[in-house]
Amino acid sequence: MLCVLLLLCGQGYAQQYDTASIFNFPIELDSVVISSGFDVKAFIRRVQTDTTFYKAFKSLHFVPYSAVNDIKVHDKDGKISATLHSRTKQHINNRCRTTEVLEQIVTGDIYKRNGDHNYYTEALFDHVFIAKKPVCNESDIVAGSLASKPKGQKEKSEYELKQLLFNPGAKVSGVPFMGDRASIFDEDEARKYDFKVTLDKYNSVPCYIFKITPKQGYESKVVYNELTTWFRKSDYSILARDYSLSYHTLVYDFDVRMKVRTQERDKKLYPTYISYDGNWHVFTQKRERVKFTIDITY
């Protein structure tokens, strides 16, 4: 049964908490969501098993697009110490993709003297979005693709990042000392968060907005500072997502904020905007404070 809590909110609507779903912790629902016939059990399952967001990124490898990329490196005082601005175009030919760099302006020490990347964040960006040589015969099948662990160090880092971005709530194996902290739907972690669902619009499209924030007193004991996701009401596809993640140990620490936006083209979703603002440090490497944005047009 649903227990009802009437609140005099600024928006003037009632809120309810679901306490009977497979999820053992209450989810705050506004009255508009309640009147829409919202099924909490089905929704939580969709959140945990969603592949639409990952599919949008996989689909990016099969279509031509243009992108404007901006990368800024900051020093310990917050001043910009290095930048990379580029305009790129992805070409598709016989199931192979290549990236043409139309313009590139570099300042500071983005690259080493031998041309190698000086910053790991920029190197990972390059690995994910730039195909200097043809990359062929990729697959857009997402089922099970996040289950197999790659072998190379850069590929392992990309895999761990994918787990946090595309499979929130799953345990991220391979990251020391984090344990189950990323498993936000497990009982030990879920009790540290507030969960809320509202109904609103994203670019005029009705969406369920699912927001996760830490409860008061747990801010320094969780990985996700915020996770907000816009699910299209008609089919629960993810149209946008905002992340804020941080974690601190003696060996490493990170504080990362990201925003991702998508659009539908030929009945498929594709990312159109990505912003990243990260400050992280690993014991064996120098601290990196890097921001980047990608604007993509099709």
* CA–CA distance, 68 with 73 (Å, rounded to integer): 17
Cβ within 8 Å of residue 260, ≥6 positions away: 53, 165, 240, 241, 242, 271, 273, 274
Q: Which residues pair with 62 in a beta bridge?
A: none
Is the pLDDT at 196 greater than 60? The verdict is yes
Lowest mean pLDDT among 50-54, 157-161, 203-207, 217-221: 157-161
- Return the domain boundaries, the chain: 2-46, 50-184+223-297
Angle at 50 between CA 194 and CA 68, to 5 degrees: 95
DSSP-assigned letters across all residues of 187-201:
HHHHTTEEEEEEEEE
Mean pLDDT confidence for 279-289:
89
pLDDT band at 2 (very low <50, low <70, confident <90, very high): very low
* CA–CA distance, 142 with 156 (Å, rounded to integer): 17
In SS3 terms, 133-188 reads as CCEECCCCCCCCCCCCCCCCHHHHHHHHHHHHHHCCCCCCCCCCCCCCCCCCCCHH
Mean pLDDT of the chain: 83
pLDDT of residue 43: 82
Residue position matching structure tokens 């601290």: 287
Higher pLDDT, 111 or 32: 111
For 198-212, what is each residue's pLDDT tens digit?
Answer: 999 999 999 999 999
For 168-194, what is each residue's pLDDT tens digit?
Answer: 666 655 555 565 677 788 888 889 999
pLDDT band at 22 (very low <50, low <70, confident <90, very high): very low
Mean pLDDT confidence for 213-230:
93
pLDDT of residue 37: 72
pLDDT of residue 11: 30
How large is the C-alpha radius of gyration of the chain? 20
* CA–CA distance, 132 with 281 (Å, rounded to integer): 28
Question: Tokens at residue 245, please?
Answer: 């993640």
Q: Specify the pairing of strand 65-74 against strand 27-30.
A: unpaired
Q: Counting every residue, how long is the chain?
A: 298
Higher pLDDT, 43 or 138: 138
288 touches 73 (CB < 8 A):
yes
Mean pLDDT confidence for 114-121:
92
Q: Specify the pairing of strand 193-202 against strand 27-30.
A: parallel
